[in-house]
A and B are shown apart, each in its own frame.
Chain A
Amino acid sequence: MGDYIEIHDLNKTFQTRSGPLQVLNGIDLSVQKGEIFGIIGFSGAGKSTLARCVNGLEKPDQGRILVDGKDVTSLSKKQMREERRHIGMVFQNFNLFESKTVYENIAYSLRIRHEKKDLLDQKVKEVAELVGLSEKLSSYPGGLSGGQKQRVGIARALIGEPDVLISDEATSALDPQTTLQILDLLKSINKEKGITILMITHELDAIKYSCDRMAVLEGGKIIEQGKVVDIFHNPHSRTGELFTKVFFQFQNDEFQSGAGI
């Protein structure tokens, strides 16, 4: 299994009112085909910007992003639209279309490609079955629970049969039980369909539960990357150390009657 996503020296600076803000500061990263790769970092570390660059929603100032050997930073608008078929994205706030039923939300990317009706119908039902939403196809997203909404989000990204799924804090707005269900779903999608998943999160639990390898993002740089087990037991970076410390403290501390936090 070779490198599937390769990121070289990625830089991105935003112009803000208080001057330029460098969000990504020379990111180097490689993700292998078929793995679940976790990227962790505190708020403002540049996680979402990194995700948006891979998907082409944001154009980096400098650096290259190769997805399956193709440089997505140098694609034209039209080529990028084509390339997005291979890159699915799932969002923290779900970002579902409230004006459309669950069915139409899932069908969206086929509709805009004017896919034939019976093929579209068959695919929507297939994907809905996979994420466990067959019963809800005629509902509107407004009436669904958070977990169901995220399932719609995942189904909507899956129907284009992507090779990569970017999960931008997909479980951060969900309760622990639902988080677990969604992570299980992502894991089974990864296993059954061989879809590479880039999981961006601030929840160490989520990474520990589902990822093979991970990277720690701090101040727009990857300061540590490797196997999840290694980083957990031997974190070198400050963020990594802090994260694992917080993690173990949550896990191990005695019941503190709320005094601890």
Chain B
Amino acid sequence: MSLENTPFWEVIRSSFSAAIWKEVGPAVWDTVYMTVVSSIIMFIIGLAFGIILIWTDKGGIRATPIINGPFGWFINILRSLPQMIMIIIMIPVARSIFGQSYGTNPCIVAIAASCIPMYARMVESSLLEVEKGKIDAARSLGSTDLDIVFRVWIPEAIPSLIRGFTVTVIGIISMTALAGMFGAGGIGDIAVRYGYQRFQHDKLLACIYVLIVIVQLTQSAGNLLSDHVRKKRGLM
């Protein structure tokens, strides 16, 4: 049903019809699957990268500009690639891992590669917010470098890390839609194939509803969790 030949209200009514959702429903699952798996990969590698950045930083555990400099450059280079170009670049990588360059799993590689550097920078800035005095205190109590990072630095930054994670997960959701153009399936795929190429605007609307709901849920969950931690700690 297209807006070109159907009244607006008709299209909206149709966008809630069972026939539409029979097609959109499985795509929702694909999008959620891609988002969750990419987020997990991004969380683990991004956190590790962020720790490397802060460990070698001037104000970090051990100032090592020889690592921090090139590593920072590497992350900046990855960050300067637009997501679409990252997907194209990752096609051969995905093919070498999965034997094919389309479908949800191969696209997860591209999504993670694009979001890891962003999350690494978020982790870095969250950790930099922790007062230096706490690190001094931990040191004065005889902590090793690992104690400082894992017992003090990261736990102290948790509310801020959660908020940063929420922002990047929403970034991932928007990227799954883009990946739909490159054969990833999911909501983006439906929106492009039906909404853009065939003018089926009812399906496009359904995709928009889904994206709005997923993003809202993600943001609310992030806020709730972060506030819960801060409340527990008596900080709000």
Q: Which one of B142, B155, B234 lies within 8 Å of A109 (CB-CB)?
A: B142
Alpha-carbon distance between A141 and B155 when the two chains are bound, in angstroms:
14
Q: Is A99 a contact of B142 with CB atoms below 8 Å?
A: no
- By size class, the interface of chain A is 20 to 34
- What mask results when residues 134 to 158 of chain A are scored 1 for a CB within 8 Å of chain B, else 0? 0000011111100000000100110
Residues of B115-156 whose CB lies within 8 A of A: 131, 133-134, 136-144, 147, 151-152, 155-156
B214 at the interface (CB under 8 A from A): no
Question: Smallest distance from the beta carbon of A235 to chain B beta carbons, Å?
Answer: 32
Q: Is A99 a contact of B155 with CB atoms below 8 Å?
A: yes
Q: Is A81 a contact of B234 with CB atoms below 8 Å?
A: no
Q: Which of A52, A82, A95, A113 has the most CB of B within 10 A?
A: A95
Q: Which of B131, B139, B152 has the most CB of A within 10 A?
A: B139
Q: Which residues of A contact B12 (CB under 8 A)?
A: none
B235 at the interface (CB under 8 A from A): yes
Q: Is B140 a contact of A81 with CB atoms below 8 Å?
A: no
Q: Which residues of B contact A88 (CB under 8 A)?
A: 140
Q: Which residues of B contact A113 (CB under 8 A)?
A: 142
Q: Is A112 a contact of B155 with CB atoms below 8 Å?
A: no
Question: Smallest distance from the beta carbon of B3 to chain A beta carbons, Å?
Answer: 52
Q: Is B144 a contact of A81 with CB atoms below 8 Å?
A: yes
- What mask results when residues 93 to 126 of chain A are scored 1 for a CB within 8 Å of chain B, else 0? 1011111100000001101110000000000000
Q: Is B133 a contact of A91 with CB atoms below 8 Å?
A: yes
A59 at the interface (CB under 8 A from B): no
Q: Which one of B137, B142, B158, B234 lies within 8 Å of A160 (CB-CB)?
A: B142
Q: Which residues of B contact A98 (CB under 8 A)?
A: 156, 233, 235
B232 at the interface (CB under 8 A from A): yes
A55 at the interface (CB under 8 A from B): yes
A33 at the interface (CB under 8 A from B): no
Alpha-carbon distance between A157 and B138 when the two chains are bound, in angstroms:
10
Q: Which residues of A contact B139 (CB under 8 A)?
A: 57, 84
Q: Is A84 a contact of B142 with CB atoms below 8 Å?
A: yes
A207 at the interface (CB under 8 A from B): no
Known: A100-B155, A112-B142, A160-B142. A91 touches B137 (CB 8 A): yes
Q: Is B156 a contact of A143 with CB atoms below 8 Å?
A: no
Alpha-carbon distance between A125 and B233 when the two chains are bound, in angstroms:
21
Q: Which one of A57, A97, A143 lies within 8 Å of B140 (CB-CB)?
A: A57
9 A-B pairs within 8 Å (CB atoms) are namely A55-B140, A84-B140, A84-B141, A97-B134, A99-B152, A109-B141, A142-B235, A157-B140, A160-B142
